[in-house]
């Protein structure tokens, strides 16, 4: 936004919320420099919206204003405003000023009014005119004081306004939440906002009636239309979400037929692949529809030559076979070459100063050899390693 335009806006002494509101408006309209219609009485229609109201009031005496001038800003969505802090039984001069998005301002004529008595709990018979009720908003069942009802507080009593349905306030002069009026001195009417479609409250904005908040699935100023992604089945008063499997955001507003299916899908609910396309995902939404030729290429490319399970089986088999071969070799070697028997000994002499060598006696060596040969023959095994005599000429 141009600095000159920023300076003009800052000079208006707006609140941060109002500054953000006007900045958002100018940004949405692509206004970056000070326009020719700024603060002019004739402006483009798109900039004729109301930015805020300003209520101005000042105390009066004998037809002359005196004292401090008071003011307060009001959002354009508010239809009623209550000035606080006024003195009882005092004359005031009040006017309303409106500011548009173009910063053009218009001011109403000044209205001179007198406030009511500032009454509280009053003894019976002290005042007979202590109830000033709005005739349109009160229940008129007291002939002496229309709209008033006496309320007792111990020995004290007070006449208070009894409001009709749809009215509230001390004098039953404003509409209750959920009601609206077309203008001053007009009756309060119930908001035409279905609680199944909205929060049930409404307000005026720039001459049009709006429901405060629409529920999910509804739109329009009175939440009377279906929002994007919803439709109203024939004969139904309420909206239903479109069943398009996430492949489009729009459907026909009565039948619910999906419009503009994406991701190569088709059908009433975008629930199948379009002609010439196949779904490569077996579960979930149809978001994987690809051309048939592409799907075939993908399958051939991803087809494994040997499964991972087959590779694992081959590896295990090889390990088992190698283990068996090693076991057989060790077994045969053990029986073919038994552990050799000692045929000579080495002993330490008694004086611990020498070593004595002695060989196995001849008869004992022969007996051992004969026994082992006999055992070999019984097992059907031959070629065992015989003992040899120790050479004595070492």
pLDDT of 124 above 70:
no
With a CB cutoff of 8 Å and minimum separation 6, the contacts of 131 are 145, 147, 148, 159, 160, 161
Residue of 181, 179, 201, 182 lying closest to 190 (CA atoms): 179
pLDDT digits (tens, 9 = 90+) for 167-217: 988 778 889 999 998 877 889 999 999 999 999 999 887 778 999 999 999
Q: What are phi and psi of 231, to 5 degrees?
A: -145, 160
Q: What's the rounded mean pLDDT across residues 118-137? A: 55
pLDDT digits (tens, 9 = 90+) for 311-344: 888 888 989 889 888 888 887 766 655 555 555 5
pLDDT of residue 89: 76
The model carries a pTM of 0.45
pLDDT of residue 216: 93
Percentage of the residues of the chain whose pLDDT score is greater than 70: 70
pLDDT of 251 above 90:
yes
218 — alpha (psi -120 to 50), left (phi > 0) or beta? beta
Q: What are phi and psi of 45, to 5 degrees?
A: -60, -40
36 or 364: whose pLDDT is higher? 36
Instruction: Copy the structure tokens of residue 8.
Output: 């003009």
Domains of the chain, by residue range, sit at: 3-114, 118-190, 230-298, 335-394
Given CATH 3.40.50.450, say whether it is the number of domain 230-298. Answer: no
- Tell me the sheet residues that pair with 219: 225
pLDDT of residue 218: 94
Q: Between 2.60.40, 1.10.357, 3.40.50, 3.30.1560, what CATH number should domain 3-114 receive?
A: 2.60.40
Q: Binning pLDDT at 50, 70 and 90, where does residue 128 land?
A: very low
pLDDT digits (tens, 9 = 90+) for 80-117: 677 877 887 788 889 998 888 888 888 888 888 777 65
The angle at the Cα of 179, spanning 178 to 183, to the nearest 5 degrees, equals 145
SS3 sequence of the chain: CCHHHHHHHHCCCCCHHHHHHHHHHHHHCCCCCCCCCCCCCCCCHHHCCEEEEEEEEEEEECCEEEEEEEEEEECCCCCCCCCCCCCCCCEEEEEEEEEECCCCEEECCCEEEECCCCCCCECCCCCCCCCCCCCCCECCCCCCCCCEEEEEECCEEEEEECECCCEECCCCCEECCCEECCCCCCCCEECCCCCCCECCCEEEECCEEEECCECCCEECCCCCEECCCEECCCCCCCCEECCCCCCCCEECCCCCCEECCCCCEECCCCCEECCCEEECCCCCCCCCEEEHHHHHHHHHHHCCCCCHHHHHHHHHHHHHHHHHHHHHHHHHHHHHCCCCCCCEEEEECCCCCCEEEEECCHHHHHHHHHHHHHHHHHCCCCCCCCCCCCCCCC
Average pLDDT taken over every residue of the chain: 76
Asked if 360 and 344 touch (Cβ cutoff 8 Å), the reply is: yes
pLDDT digits (tens, 9 = 90+) for 56-81: 999 988 888 888 888 888 887 776 67
């Amino acid at each position: 936004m141009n600095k000159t335009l920023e300076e003009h806006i800052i000079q208006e002494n707006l609140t941060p919320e109002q500054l953000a509101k006007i900045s958002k408006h100018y940004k949405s309209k692509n206004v970056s420099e000070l326009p020719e219609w700024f603060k002019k009485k004739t402006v483009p229609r798109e900039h004729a919206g109301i930015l805020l109201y300003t209520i101005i009031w000042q105390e009066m005496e004998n037809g002359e204003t005196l004292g401090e001038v008071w003011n307060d800003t009001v959002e354009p969505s508010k239809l009623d405003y209550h000035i606080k802090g006024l003195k009882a039984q005092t004359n005031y001069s009040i006017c309303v000023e409106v500011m548009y998005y173009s910063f053009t301002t218009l001011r109403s004529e000044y209205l001179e009014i007198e406030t009511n008595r500032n009454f509280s709990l009053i003894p019976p018979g002290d005042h007979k005119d202590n109830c000033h009720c709005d005739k349109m908003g009160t229940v008129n069942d007291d002939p002496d004081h229309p709209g008033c009802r006496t309320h007792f507080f111990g020995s004290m009593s007070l006449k208070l306004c009894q409001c009709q349905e749809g009215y509230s306030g001390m004098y039953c002069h404003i509409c209750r939440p959920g009601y609206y009026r077309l203008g001053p001195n007009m009756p309060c009417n119930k908001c035409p906002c279905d609680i199944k479609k909205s929060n049930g409250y409404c307000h005026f904005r720039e001459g049009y009636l709006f429901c405060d908040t629409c529920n999910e699935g509804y739109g329009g100023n009175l939440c009377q239309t279906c929002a994007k992604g919803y439709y109203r089945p024939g004969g139904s008063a309420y909206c239903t979400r479109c069943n398009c499997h996430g492949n489009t955001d729009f459907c026909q507003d009565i039948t619910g037929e999906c419009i503009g299916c994406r991701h190569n899908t088709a059908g009433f609910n975008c629930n199948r692949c379009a002609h010439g396309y196949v779904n490569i995902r077996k579960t979930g939404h149809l978001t994987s529809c690809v051309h048939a030729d592409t799907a075939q290429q993908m399958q051939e490319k991803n087809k494994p030559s040997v499964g991972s399970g087959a590779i694992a089986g081959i590896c295990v088999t090889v390990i088992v076979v190698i283990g068996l071969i090693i076991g057989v070799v060790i077994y045969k070697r053990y029986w073919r070459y038994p552990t050799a028997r000692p045929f000579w000994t080495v002993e330490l002499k008694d004086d611990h100063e020498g070593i004595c060598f002695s060989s196995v006696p001849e008869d004992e060596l022969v007996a051992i050899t004969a026994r082992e040969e006999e055992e070999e023959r019984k097992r059907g095994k031959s070629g065992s390693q015989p003992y040899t005599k120790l050479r004595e000429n070492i």
